[in-house]
Amino acid sequence: MLEKQLIESNNGVYNCWLNYAKCLNPKLVDQYKKICSCLVVNNNNTVKHTAVEELKLALKMIIGIEPLVSNEIPNSSYLFVGTLEDARAFQLETKITEKYADGSYEVKAADNEQNTALQIIGKDGTGVLYGIFYLIRNLRIGKEISQSQIVDIPRNKLRMINHWDNASGDIERGYAGQSFFYSNDEIIKNFSRIKDYARLLGSIGINGVVINNVNVHNIETKFITKEYLPDIARFADVFRNYGIKLYLSINYASPIELGGLKTADPLDEAVKQWWKKTADLIYDYIPDFGGFLVKADSEGRPGPFTYERNHAQGANVLAEALKPHGGIVIWRCFVYNCHLDWRDRSLDRAKAAYDNFKPLDGEFMDNVILQVKNGPMDFQIREAVSPLFGAMEKTNMILEFQAAQEYTGQQKHVCYLLPMWKEVLNFDTHAKGEGSYVSKVVDGSLFNSRYSGIVAVSNLGDSKCWTGHPLAQANLYGIGRIAWNPELSSEEIAKEWVKLTYGCDEGIVQTVVSILMESREVYEKYTSPLGIGWMVNPNYHYGPSVEGYEYSRWGTYHYADWKGIGVDRTVSTGTGYTAQYHEAVASMYENIETCPEALLLFFHHVPYKYQLKTGKTLIQHIYDTHFEGVEKVEEFIEKWMSLKGKINEEAFGLVCDRLRIQLKDSKEWRDQVNTYFYRRTGIKDIKGRKIYE
């Protein structure tokens, strides 16, 4: 079934980067045929069996061979596939040891006189799977076997995807169609697409998936009951084959709504016992269940505040229930008062997460992880890095990115997010002096954390290309690659994705990569300048609305008046937000002269005639960038049109459709934003361009 599906849709639309097109390089084909015609494997592990089947499928489709599978090492060429335990049984040497992280693997030439053997040795079955996909990836992008030797260790223990899917079939902040998990308040019956999805995630090293919305509604609340657990376990069965653990978002009020208790107070003994019995039940159905994701006391969700308890007390009651089973609690830090009166400029939503959680450092159990958004606001195209990274030395932490383009074009606009994510990971918190990068916080090395990692909010749906916009697949691919190895560059990941998806033609690679690498900055140019963010319709988070209010009837987030724009977050004259950073960072942001201009309006209220380092005034920068952004989208269209006839017609057409939407909407953004600031200031564009009045 899978092979038939791949053959019929071998175009980079449905199969994404697992596009097993036939290799046309005779030299490469001969190399891989010689090594891979015989696979030596001891199939005693479910995930390892999956890995071998994936390899056999790839070899058949890419180089046209069906390898012999043996449990003995032959005298001729061969490819050994096995775990550390297998390697020892065959008396093979490897650098992999028990101390290596789960999922680690080695690919090496075997000690053989003809140098015609290769070994893929994983610490465990999942490591074997990752090693297999590594070899397939290298074959697809044209690397010779001699270039494929590696010892590869995942930097982050947890590499996860959060789905915001509802049982209704709708996806909160979903821009790629309906859920492929649920429909009409029921769990889907046909799991073939779930398997295809598990393949995609397994191939990029994702090892955890949350399959329901953090805003848990009535039906999803019941997912932890006997009524639904048999079907939920079916999901776990599929994901398990690809080394992926299943997690569930839970409703903090479940003891009341499901258990008939009068309270969900985390210190109530009956509540504690209810959660323990519930955890026991879940693990009866899913022995390797990952744990709970919790959104509590935020945007109307129930939580411990109702009972005058804090977040640590709220999380720990769940952690106690899961701990005997090896489960974890992932507690989201997106917590703030959504009814603040923004006329009071001493208030600052950016301060909320730090204010809520910093005082609790050291009070969470060791199987609790705080899930922190990359910025203190809400996934804007550019905002400061959350000061919580580097602030909590005694607490596990996982970094939350959003692959779903909620505020970055909603998968109608091309917006490659890896450059943004790299900026976050490379940000120096100075928590332990210079070099205390966010990447070291979230991989656990800076504070010696037990759990750590990177998670992304899903950008997937039931659209044929999975992500609505075919180029948005690059963000999903990228989150897996960067979570595995944060040292990979944005461009390197983009090139990999393009080659795997559309082939290795240099013209295609250069063209698509150039679009991807410019796209984040281009989107920023025609939307919101210099870190101010928002300026979108508050109901849909899309489309220009310069004074679009967010959660408030009383004011905007950008504080624009006829004199200037921006939020004063300094200690000296503003909200005091800069004090949440360690000294070196705080001083940099506090001073308008040293504050990076890309975040100028995030930290300072600036006059329109303020001169930027380019020599332009702030108002002229706003005018220029909004015109430049539209011009760049026109360039994107020209570049993409040059690929007509060179890539699959369906993929080409889908991207064309999205680029037309992007051009139309970018012009609307340009015109509305520029008109707004012209009317606010009365200052004309020095270049004399038409600004709609």
The answer to whether residues 387 and 430 touch, using CB atoms and an 8 Å cutoff, is no
Token pair listed for 635: 């360039």
The answer to whether residues 333 and 545 touch, using CB atoms and an 8 Å cutoff, is no
| Phi, psi of 657, rounded to the nearest 5 degrees | -60, -45
Catalytically annotated residue among 297, 383, 406, 590: 406
The DSSP annotation for 214-273 comes to SS--HHHHGGGSTTTHHHHHHHHHHHHTTT-EEEEE--TTHHHHTT--S---TT-HHHHH
The answer to whether residues 570 and 578 touch, using CB atoms and an 8 Å cutoff, is yes
Beta-carbon contacts of 331 under 8 Å, excluding residues fewer than 6 positions away, are 294, 296, 311, 314, 315, 364, 368, 369, 370, 371
Catalytically annotated residue among 348, 378, 496, 590: 378
- Is 348 a known active-site residue? no
Question: How far, in Å, CA of 7 to CA of 15, rounded?
Answer: 10
Question: How far, in Å, CA of 214 to CA of 402, rounded?
Answer: 13
Catalytically annotated residue among 30, 185, 186, 299: 299
- Is 628 a known active-site residue? no
- Is 406 a known active-site residue? yes
Question: How far, in Å, CA of 273 to CA of 317, rounded?
Answer: 9
The DSSP annotation for 367-385 comes to TEEEEEESSSSSS-SS-PP
Give the largest CA-CA distance in the chain.
Answer: 83
Question: How far, in Å, CA of 509 to CA of 503, rounded?
Answer: 8
Token pair listed for 432: 């332990």
Beta-carbon contacts of 557 under 8 Å, excluding residues fewer than 6 positions away, are 342, 532, 533, 534, 550, 567
Enumerate the active-site residues: 299, 378, 406
